[in-house]
């Protein structure tokens, strides 16, 4: 894991920091040499210590959680800890063992613990202020028995180190670790505490950074995974829409092809059925025949691109509500209890409306057999004044039915596309009457009958 962490840090540093070749040689097309270890360490030190270097596109991300119900308690907790640790960092050096005056203890103690308040918002700024405070505290106390800082100050510093590691910038994390060990604990080990104890404190600081980096890396990976899943879901939905539109185009092509074939055949047979037909009428039928054949060839050529290699055109018109009884009988054979009602005065329907109504009922019954097996389904067809109403409502799974637990396909997307194509509407969701089950309701304008 250590090798993987070093490798990933090097990769992130190479992507966020300029390499050694940034002049004309880099723009001449030659492959730049990878940065050396010294270059990486210098870049880490600069981003950790120098103000403004770790800003911009590669700025340290604040480790704030997204939810307010987590963020607010954390802010309150860190504020209370900052107050308590600041008080301890001021009071402990003024005790009888260290004998530091209030003029020294108050500003140094505030520098050592008060920045904990902004650790969630500006972790790098909080660390810089605390590092200065700890270094000043070590230089101000030269006669400490073990270490020159109060436990509260070191606890606050450890929390800030964890927040820096949690921010997700590994280059900055490495730089902070180096400066904390060499620039803060190192001088204190030389003037105010044993070297072996300084090694222990440096190890604690590095462990806090490593732990924060591990947690932050996991958080970043989970966020990236959620984003990828959302993009994948959108791609699937977009693909389902395109596939359904292609399927609708193919079905309409089959319907149009059937009618155009009838037109061409009738125009071809008309002169033979009516021998005394005038020459002008014969010429008109020839024009109608040729136009029908040309339109049929054009639609076949265009829509043929939407068909897969193993898919052929239908040889008969697409189904409609005239075959509704066959559809209901097939659903009953699958285990559903299906009842149907037709209200209003039946009327001729445009082919697209008839086909779409049939497909909506078909898809709704298919979903009911998957998610409400052995259940009761009611199909309602209503002929209104301006639109055809289609409603399919189930009552949930039956006593012996076990619904599928896996996610479904994109049947609802297809039904909605069909309704939208006709200028209608589709509503899906739990039943309006509060009873268990699912409801699909569509309003399809009649349009012009064929």
Each residue's pLDDT tens digit, 391-433? 999 988 877 766 665 555 567 777 888 888 888 999 998 888 7
Tens digits of residue pLDDT in 35-82: 566 666 666 667 666 665 555 444 556 666 666 777 788 888 989 999
Residue 204 CB-density burial (10 A; 0-12 exposed, 13-18 middle, 19+ buried): middle
Q: Answer whether residue 148 shows pLDDT above 50.
A: yes
- SS3 of 318-371: the string is CCCHHHHHHHHHHHHHCCCEEEEEEECCCCCCCHHHHHHHHHHHHHHHHHHHHH
Helix (H) or strand (E) holding 130: helix 123-140
Give the per-residue pLDDT at 56: 47
442 vs 295, which has greater pLDDT? 442
What's the sign of the alpha-carbon dihedral 126, 129, 135, 136? negative
Q: Answer whether residue 134 shows pLDDT above 70.
A: yes
**Mean pLDDT score across all residues of the chain:** 77
Inter-residue contact 444 to 357 (CB < 8 Å): yes
Q: Read off the pLDDT band of 21 (50, 70, 90).
A: very low
Inter-residue contact 330 to 423 (CB < 8 Å): no
Distance in angstroms (rounded) separating the CA atoms of residues 41 and 45:
6
Give the per-residue pLDDT at 318: 67
Pick from 14-23, 28-37, 156-165: least confident: 14-23
Distance in angstroms (rounded) separating the CA atoms of residues 207 and 158:
9
Distance in angstroms (rounded) separating the CA atoms of residues 440 and 418:
13
Q: Answer whether residue 6 shows pLDDT above 50.
A: no
pTM exceeds 0.75, yes or no: no
Q: Read off the pLDDT band of 14 (50, 70, 90).
A: very low
202 vs 100, which has greater pLDDT? 202
- 20 DSSP 8-state letter: S
Take residue 418 and report the two structure tokens written for it: 């069909």
Q: Read off the pLDDT band of 33 (50, 70, 90).
A: low
Tens digits of residue pLDDT in 317-348: 568 898 899 889 888 888 889 999 999 998 88
Pick from 106-110, 117-121, 237-241: least confident: 237-241
Q: Answer whether residue 312 shows pLDDT above 80.
A: no
Inter-residue contact 112 to 162 (CB < 8 Å): no
Distance in angstroms (rounded) separating the CA atoms of residues 30 and 26:
6
Q: Read off the pLDDT band of 144 (50, 70, 90).
A: low
**What are the distances in angstroms from CA 160 to CA 13, 170, 209, 256?**
22, 15, 9, 71
- Mean pLDDT on 426-447: 87
Those residues whose C-beta lies under 8 Å from the C-beta of residue 350, and which sit 6 or more positions away, are 446, 447, 448, 449, 450
Phi, psi for residue 445 in degrees, rounded to 5? -60, 145
Tens digits of residue pLDDT in 85-116: 988 888 887 775 556 677 778 888 899 899 99
Q: Read off the pLDDT band of 26 (50, 70, 90).
A: very low
Give the per-residue pLDDT at 274: 83
Pick from 18-27, 73-82, 119-128, 146-155: least confident: 18-27
> What is the spatial order of strands in the sheet that 425-430 belongs to?
337-343, 376-383, 387-394, 438-445, 425-430
Q: Answer whether residue 389 shows pLDDT above 90.
A: yes
Distance in angstroms (rounded) separating the CA atoms of residues 129 and 157:
10
Q: Work out whether strand 425-430 and strand 387-394 pair parallel, antiparallel, or are unpaired.
A: unpaired
Q: What percent of the chain has pLDDT over 90?
A: 14
Give the per-residue pLDDT at 169: 74
Distance in angstroms (rounded) separating the CA atoms of residues 280 and 299:
29
Give the per-residue pLDDT at 171: 81
5 vs 220, which has greater pLDDT? 220
Inter-residue contact 141 to 191 (CB < 8 Å): no
Q: Read off the pLDDT band of 388 (50, 70, 90).
A: very high
What's the sign of the alpha-carbon dihedral 315, 321, 325, 330? positive
Q: Answer whether residue 239 shows pLDDT above 50.
A: yes
Give the per-residue pLDDT at 7: 32
Inter-residue contact 13 to 40 (CB < 8 Å): yes
Q: Work out whether strand 337-343 and strand 376-383 pair parallel, antiparallel, or are unpaired.
A: parallel
């Amino acid at each position: 894991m250590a090798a993987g962490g070093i490798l990933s840090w090097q990769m992130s540093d190479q992507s966020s920091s300029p390499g050694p070749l940034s002049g004309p040689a880099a723009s001449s097309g030659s492959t730049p040499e990878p940065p050396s270890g010294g270059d990486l360490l210098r870049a880490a030190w600069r981003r950790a210590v120098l103000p403004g270097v770790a800003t911009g596109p590669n700025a340290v991300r604040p480790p704030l959680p997204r939810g307010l119900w987590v963020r607010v308690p954390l802010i309150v907790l860190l504020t209370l800890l900052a107050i308590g640790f600041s008080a301890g960092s001021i009071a402990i050096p003024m005790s009888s063992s260290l004998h530091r005056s209030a003029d020294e203890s108050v500003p140094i103690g505030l520098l050592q613990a008060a920045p904990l308040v902004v650790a969630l918002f500006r972790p790098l700024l909080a660390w810089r202020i605390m590092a200065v405070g700890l270094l000043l505290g070590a230089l101000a106390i030269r006669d400490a028995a073990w270490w020159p800082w109060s436990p509260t100050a070191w606890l606050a510093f450890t929390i800030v180190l964890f927040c820096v590691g949690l921010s997700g910038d590994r280059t900055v994390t490495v730089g902070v670790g180096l400066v904390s060990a060499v620039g803060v604990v190192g001088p204190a080990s030389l003037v105010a505490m044993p070297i072996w104890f300084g090694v222990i404190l440096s190890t604690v600081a590095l462990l806090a950074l490593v732990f924060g980096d591990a947690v932050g890396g996991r958080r970043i990976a989970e966020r990236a995974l959620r984003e990828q899943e959302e993009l994948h879901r959108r791609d699937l939905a977009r693909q389902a829409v395109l596939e359904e539109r292609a399927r609708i185009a193919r079905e309409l092509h089959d319907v149009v092809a059937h009618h155009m074939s009838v037109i061409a055949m009738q125009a071809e047979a008309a002169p033979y059925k009516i021998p005394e037909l005038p020459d002008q009428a014969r010429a008109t039928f020839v024009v109608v025949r040729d136009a029908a054949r040309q339109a049929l060839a054009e639609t076949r050529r265009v829509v043929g691109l939407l068909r897969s290699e193993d898919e052929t055109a239908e040889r008969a018109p697409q189904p409609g509500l005239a075959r509704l009884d066959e559809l209901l009988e097939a659903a009953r054979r699958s285990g559903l209890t299906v009842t149907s009602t037709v209200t209003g005065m039946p009327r001729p329907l445009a082919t697209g409306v008839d086909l779409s109504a049939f497909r909506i009922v078909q898809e709704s019954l298919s979903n009911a057999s998957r998610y409400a097996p052995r259940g009761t389904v009611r199909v309602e067809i209503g002929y209104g004044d301006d639109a055809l109403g289609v409603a399919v409502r189930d009552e949930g799974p039956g006593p012996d039915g076990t619904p599928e637990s896996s996610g479904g396909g994109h049947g609802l997307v297809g039904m909605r596309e069909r309704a939208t194509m006709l200028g209608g509407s589709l509503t899906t969701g739990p039943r309006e009457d509060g009873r268990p089950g699912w409801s699909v309701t569509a309003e399809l304008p009649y349009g012009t009958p064929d």
